[in-house]
Amino acid sequence: MSSQIINETIQGEATLLSAPFESTGKMLYLESYGCAMNFADSEVVASILQGAGYATTRNEAEADVIMINTCSIRDRAEQSVRTRLRAFKTRKKSQPELIIGVLGCMAERLKKTFLEEEKLVDLVAGPDAYRDLPNLIKQVEGGQKGVNVLLSRDETYAEISPVRLAKDGISAFVSITRGCDNMCSFCVVPFTRGRERSRNPLSIVAESRELFENGYKEVTLLGQNVNSYRWNISKKGEIQDETIPTTNFGELLEMVAKISPELRIRYSTSHPKDMTDDVLHTMAKYKNICDYIHLPVQSGNSDILKKMNRGYSREWYLDRIKAINTILPGATISTDIITGFCGETEEQHQETLSLIEHVKFSFAFMYFYSERPKTLAERKYQDDVSLEIKKRRLAEVIELQHKQQLDYNSKTIGRVYEVLIERVSKKSDEMFSGRNTYNSTIVFPREDYRIGEYVNVLVEECTTLTLKGRIVKA
């Protein structure tokens, strides 16, 4: 899409639909687990149920309907959800009219367990069934169980204006794709969220503009794989409708960046096999697109990556790192790492450590492998690395990564960064917390500034995870 077409497209962007609100006096309590996509989905759910007369509450004790938006990526998240559901079931003994529902990734896989075997919930809805929630609630009120876990090939909730549940009014998530086609052998997402589909770019720009006009200073564009965003383009690269402009992720990024130089743009998550130079050049072109990329590697060994069905090799990943460092010098890169995947040898683990040493990630989400039901890895490979070895390897990864994070943070001492004030620090009411363009969290004294303002902060000390400093004049 040319710059001229991008500008014309923005001028004619779509209008979002806000749910009409006529209160029924009933309250909805939402609790979300897992990835940012789940938190964004909960805001869509809140909008849909607002249209049915439900106001949201942060106090679960006053709720008439409790919805838990779930995650199946790791067993720990599932166990947390089960614990919460059992607590709500106990409460239902004294409040029998309370409706308890499970949404999201655990819905399809565990619907029978939750509804029939453990009798923990009244309602189960998958990620593509949220429009049906008012009807499902009516079914429960009529004495039936409410169930809809059908996946869709076209549902994106594109025209729905989400109800923003976070109260800071500073940063917001904007979903640009749903589902995933990558079929990584360790991952359940394609089975729980369905096939990948992209949202109309006009609705994405409209939602981002609406947020900016309502005082938001930052949006994060969300997708399981944002780099594979495509509008009016088939998987083979063919134009599907000659009368409609095509849009890839780099072009979408530019469309959102053009809303205002005062609106900060982030995105997550990138897939290494689809990270193209045009996206990096767009980032370099616009100052309001943050110089930070989350690029999950998972393993530093090509054979393990092939087993994981990641679609790239160690060499490909390092080439993408080189491109980032060349086009966006100084940009920070974070990652995901899994230790102890099926058949991983000590030598292959050492290759992961050497890749970490080479790339010098600013941050990493690090886990040992836990087999997930219905995945290719469960069906095809033996989970043959002992838990003891998995944990030892993870400890080695964490030790190296934390050392490198501290090294990086130490080099920021004495530098001044523009920081968006996001919140009051968790540790002290006298301190603010915010992030710079590199996604580093910086804590500093509040002085006379307010949340939502940009300030220049001089870094004076650091820890592994946080920078500390003070505000200075420009």
Give the domains, in start order, of the chain with CATH numbers.
Answer: 1-16+161-290 (3.30.750.210), 26-148 (3.40.50.12160), 416-472 (2.40.50.140)
The residues that bridge with 177 in the sheet, in sequence order, are: 198
Tens digit of pLDDT for each residue in 72-110?
A: 666 677 788 888 999 998 888 889 999 999 998 887 777
For residue 19, the model assigns a pLDDT of 60
Say if residue 3's pLDDT is above 70. Answer: no
**Those residues with Cβ within 8 angstroms of residue 127's Cβ, 6 or more apart along the chain or in another chain:** 41, 103, 104, 105, 107, 151, 178, 192, 193, 194
Say if residue 366's pLDDT is above 90. Answer: yes
Tens digit of pLDDT for each residue in 341-359?
A: 999 999 999 999 999 999 9
For residue 73, the model assigns a pLDDT of 66
Structure confidence at residue 13 as a pLDDT band (50, 70, 90): low
Could you tell me which residue, 330 or 36, shows the higher pLDDT?
A: 330
Could you tell me which residue, 235 or 396, shows the higher pLDDT?
A: 396
CB count, 10 Å around CB of 362?
21
Tens digit of pLDDT for each residue in 33-55?
A: 878 888 899 999 999 999 999 99
For residue 153, the model assigns a pLDDT of 87
In this prediction the pTM is 0.87
For residue 81, the model assigns a pLDDT of 85
For residue 10, the model assigns a pLDDT of 41
Quote the mean pLDDT of the chain.
Answer: 91
Average pLDDT over residues 445-464: 96
Q: What percent of the chain has pLDDT over 90?
A: 72
Instruction: Answer for the pair 204, 9: CB distance below 8 angstroms, yes or no.
Output: no
For residue 424, the model assigns a pLDDT of 94
Spatial CA neighbour of 374 closest among 114, 187, 115, 178: 187
Among 15-19, 22-26, 135-139, 161-165, the minimum mean pLDDT is found in 15-19
Say if residue 340's pLDDT is above 90. Answer: yes
Can you give the chain as a three-state secondary structure string? CCHHHHHHHHHCCCCCECCCCCCCCEEEEEEECCCHHHHHHHHHHHHHHHCCCEEECCCHHHCCEEEEEECCCCHHHHHHHHHHHHHHHHHHCCCCCCEEEEEEHHHHHHHHHHHHHCCCCCEEECCCCHHHHHHHHHHHHCCCCEEECCCCCCCCCCCECCCCCCCCCCEEEEECEECCCCCCCCCCHHHHHCCCEECCHHHHHHHHHHHHHCCCCEEEEECCCHHHCEECECCCCCECCCCCCCEEHHHHHHHHHCCCCCCEEEEECCCHHHCCHHHHHHHHHCCCECCEEECCCECCCHHHHHHCCCCCCHHHHHHHHHHHHHHCCCCEEEEEEEECCCCCCHHHHHHHHHHHHHHCCCEEEEEECCCCCCCHHHHHCCCCCCHHHHHHHHHHHHHHHHHHHHHHHHHCCCCEEEEEEEEECCCCCCEEEEECCCCCEEEEECCCCCCCCEEEEEEEEECCCEEEEEEECC
Give, to the nearest 10 degrees, the angle between helix 201-213 and helix 3-11.
Answer: 60
